[in-house]
Structure 1
Amino acid sequence: MADDGVKEIFDWYGQTARDGLAGDGVRFVEPLGAWVVHGYTEVRRVLTDYPVFSSDELRHSARPVPHRDNPILGGLSAIDPPRHHLLRRLVSRAFTPRAIRALLPSITDTVRTQLAEVDGELDVIGRLGHPLPVRTIAALLGVEADRQPDFVRWTEAITSFAGSFSEDPARQAAFRAAHAELAAYFRQVFAEHRARPRGDVIDTLLAAEPDGSRLSDEEVLDFCTLLLINGHETTKTLLVNIVLCLAAHPEALARLRADPGLVPDAVEEVLRFLPPIGGTDRFTTGPTSIAGHPIEAGRRVIAMVLSANRDPRVFAEPQEFRPGRTPNEHLSFGHGVHFCLGAHLARHEVAIAVRALLHRFPGPWATSRIATERTPVGIDVLDLALVSP
């Protein structure tokens, strides 16, 4: 393992899971003002039981929501049935197996083009982590891929505006600027689509009447923002994490190079071992309990996916990275009605990229440069360079 930053990430995930799973795996964490749940069974319940553990923070949080202006809170992942079902059906057609297969040639072309320009070390995030998912989501939405730098900047400013981070004046200013620019851009896109429909996701949303009336431009904007942000962040982080895992485990890398057909299994193990998100929030709709702990209405509950994925009651040798693990029922894409809509697309994007990297970087991999930032529920990799000695 060439870089101490990689060891820090692995150690943090491992220790967080071990500490979190101690005892009954449920505790109130005062600095977060939240109940934190670690065990697999309990996390799965929190993710699945939406009548009790709601995704709608604006409606159910008993505490003030400092990031209430974030458009993510108006998106699909932050509302519950029955409206959730109506809106999800609108965009689900963009993620059918047939629709995803149609995107594979352009994904392959993007990866090939980005790697063709590499000389020496690979800037994983700059060359692949940003352009691959952004261009894919742009194609899905029917917007201009050449606005990639703006999409990346808007995404990072909006996703960083949450919780206590939203009290930082610099993040507040960046969020307000990004949100205003993104909204102005998409309103122009909506006007162009109304004038010249193209049969894409945006046209579907603009014409939809899920409950007998048209969606407002704000609702369509929230949809587009969510697709852009989630499609970008999840795929970028998953790609970074698989590079980290394979660089740190040369025997697994050699197995994949000998049999590229094992790549999908390796992607699943990375999702379990080093998930794109450490945890996700829910809010209690009324009094309830978890593992015997009484919890009041309006409480924030953090379902720690990273710990659930390493629960020894479910996964044998959970602290070991084992591509080909079967079964591998990790919770990294969620569970129940909020299961990630773009999960299969992200899997395909990363698998295509990994196969190309196996060919482009023969031999063992090493990380020559890495920069990270700690978040309350994970470590975000801000910079990563890959070399093949």
Structure 2
Amino acid sequence: MSRLNLFSPEVRENPYPFYAALRRESPVCQVDPGGMWVVTRYDDIVAALKNTQVFSSAGLRVASEPPHLQRHNPLSDSLILADPPRHSQLRNLIGRAFTASTVGALEPQMRSKAARLVAEMLQRRTVDFIPDFAYRAQVNVLVQLLGFDPSLQDDFQRWTTDILSIAAISPEDHRRLGEVRSTIDEMERYMRDLLASRRRKPGNDLVSDLLRSRVNDSVLTDEELLGFLFLLFVAGLETAVTLMTHMALILARLPAWMDRLRAEPALVPHFIEESLRFEPPVHATMRLTLAETELAGVRLPAHAVVALLVGAGLRDEAKFHDPERFHPERRAQASLAFGHGAHFCLGALLARAHARVVLEELLPRCRRLELRAERLAWNVSLNTRCPLALPIEVTPT
């Protein structure tokens, strides 16, 4: 039997029947591309995430900085690609600036921007939700959070696309490699200038907070700061846009939930949690085995690339009743959507708050979101699963 290819069009369009078959028959197995290993059951994914001594994040730095890139990528210095104890040290320093009060201070601006974007959608009626709403809403958050220059909005998408494409670029594609190297140069120059500016004149933003952050007289180095800014910018933009896009798609496909949420606003947080479970913004997280190990009765060799398929784990029948049904009243907490243990996402609180604000501004003004495409095209990525476009018609209340 041929191996499943995670990048095949039929899998990208609807991976969940394939995941269910893997959970039943081969919960830990090899797939294409490249013969990587996948883990599909909830408890096995959690076990791997907890075992940082064997399932390494640092071992996958080569994915963000392959030899043929011929340039250092600051993302490689970020905490997402670090193992304990270095990961713990970085997280302690960064986490002190990434607090509930930071998120609370952002909410008025998030709400104001969401209201303006909803008004624009209602005026136009038919839009592509991704660039017209989700992307612009999240760029506004990053501008407020980090103090980025809003006039660079058109560059942000290119920066994100280029950084996320690095692992998929072949050594022979000299044109794309050159473009990505130029993007890294541009991003690094901008962010180093931003750090220098905040040192001279601190502002009311996360960058200034990070520069002030200290734990036991330790401070973040410039390389650590730069790595975190790269991570927060790229991951923060991609995952939040994906979450908002899936919420809109769910509302378009299940319109009765728009009426329910308007009638019962207390269900909004549960709708968000079920959206995170049903279509997690981080669809898979990657690890590298540092030694031979066993998982679910399967021997994994040392130096094996392992994809922990969060999207499969969050539909595990052993963990969730009737998992293929979208059912916010199940009251499930989809924390696995933001990682687990040492690598639980620092931005989870912000992502949930922004999703709530978006729904609170959208639902009172919009009666229906109607999908205006017979079939959606999907991105090709191991980490995220998102439509390339989401054309919708917006009907006012």
* Superposition TM-score, scaled by structure 2 size: 0.87
Deviates more, 1:144-153 or 1:219-228: 144-153
Give the structure 2 partner of residue 87 of structure 1.
90
The 8 Å contact of residues 372 and 381 in structure 1, kept in 2 or not, is answered as yes
Query: Is structure 2 residue 229 aligned with structure 1 residue 224?
Result: yes
Alignment match, 1:134: 139
- Determine the C-alpha separation between the residues in 2 that align with 1:112 and 1:9: 36
SS class of match (1:28) = strand
Counterpart of 2:304 (choices 295, 299, 314) is 299
Q: What is the CA–CA distance in structure 2 between the aligned matches of 1:269 and 1:174, rounded to whole Å?
A: 38
| 2:346 is the alignment partner of 1:324 | no
The one-character-per-residue Cα deviations of 1:129-166 (angstroms, maximum 9, x if unpaired) are: 11222221222222223322222221111112124567
SS in 2 for 1:197: coil
Paired residue for 1:262, among 267, 271, 290? 267
Distance 1:210 1:173, change over 3 A: farther
Q: 1:39 aligns with which of 38, 41, 57?
A: 41
* Match in the other structure for 1:3: none
Measured in 2, the distance between the counterparts of 1:275 and 1:337 equals 19
What is the correspondence of 1:34-73 to structure 2 with a 5 Å cutoff? 34-58=36-60, 69-73=72-76
- Flag structure 1 segments of 5+ consecutive residues without an equivalent: 1-7
SS, match of residue 36 in structure 1: strand
Which residue of the partner structure matches residue 308 of structure 1?
Answer: 313
Deviation at 1:31, TM superposition (A): 3.2
Name which of structure 1's ranges 230-239 and 15-24 shifts more when overlaid on structure 2. 15-24
Query: What aligned pairs does 1:156-195 form with structure 2 within 5 A after superposition?
Result: 156-163=161-168, 168-195=173-200
Gap change, CA 1:247 and 1:167, over 3 Å in 2? farther
Range with bigger deviation, 282-291 or 192-201: 192-201
Find the residue that maps to 2:286 and give its secondary structure: strand
Residue 365 of structure 1 corresponds to 369
Q: Distance in 2 between matches of 1:23 and 1:374?
A: 25
Say yes or no: does 1:14 pair with 2:47.
no
Gap runs ≥5 in structure 2: 1-9
Cα offsets for 1:296-351 (capped at 9, x unmatched):
22211110001100110010011111122233445111100100110111111111
Aligned partner of 2:6 in structure 1 is none
The one-letter code of the counterpart of 2:269 is: P
1:244 to partner: Cα distance: 0.8
Q: 1:120 to 1:60 in 2, by over 3 A?
A: closer
Tell me the amino acid that sits aligned with residue 28 of structure 1: Q
Distance 1:330-1:87 versus aligned 2 partners, 3 A rule: closer
Q: For 1:161, give the aligned amino acid.
A: I
Cα 1:37–1:104 change in 2 (3 A) is same
TM-fit CA distance, 1:228: 0.8
Query: Partner of 2:387: helix, strand, or coil?
Result: strand
What are the Cα deviations for residues 220-276 of structure 1, in whole angstroms up to 9, with x where unaligned? 211111111111111100000011111111222221122122111111111111111
What letter corresponds to residue 103 of structure 2 in structure 1? I
Q: Distance in 1 between matches of 2:127 and 2:372?
A: 10
What percent identity do the matched residue pairs reach?
A: 36
Q: Once the 2 structures are TM-superposed, how far is the Cα of residue 212 of structure 1 from its aligned partner?
A: 6.2
SS across alignment from 2:390 = strand
Which residue among 362, 387, 391 is the counterpart of 1:385? 391
What is the Cα deviation at residue 93 of structure 1? Answer: 2.9
Q: CA distance change for structure 1 residues 241 and 299 in 2, over 3 Å: closer, same or farther? A: same
> 1:226/1:82 Cα in 2 relative to 1: closer, same or farther (>3 Å)?
same
Tell me the distance in 2 between the aligned counterparts of 1:193 and 1:116. Answer: 35
Cα pair distance change 1:367/1:14, threshold 3 Å? same
SS in 2 for 1:383: coil
Residues 146-165 of structure 1: matches in 2 within 5 Å? 146-163=151-168
Distance 1:18 1:188 in 2: 48
Indicate the SS of the match to 1:276.
coil
- Give 1:104's aligned amino acid: E
Specify the code of the residue in structure 1 equivalent to 2:179.
A
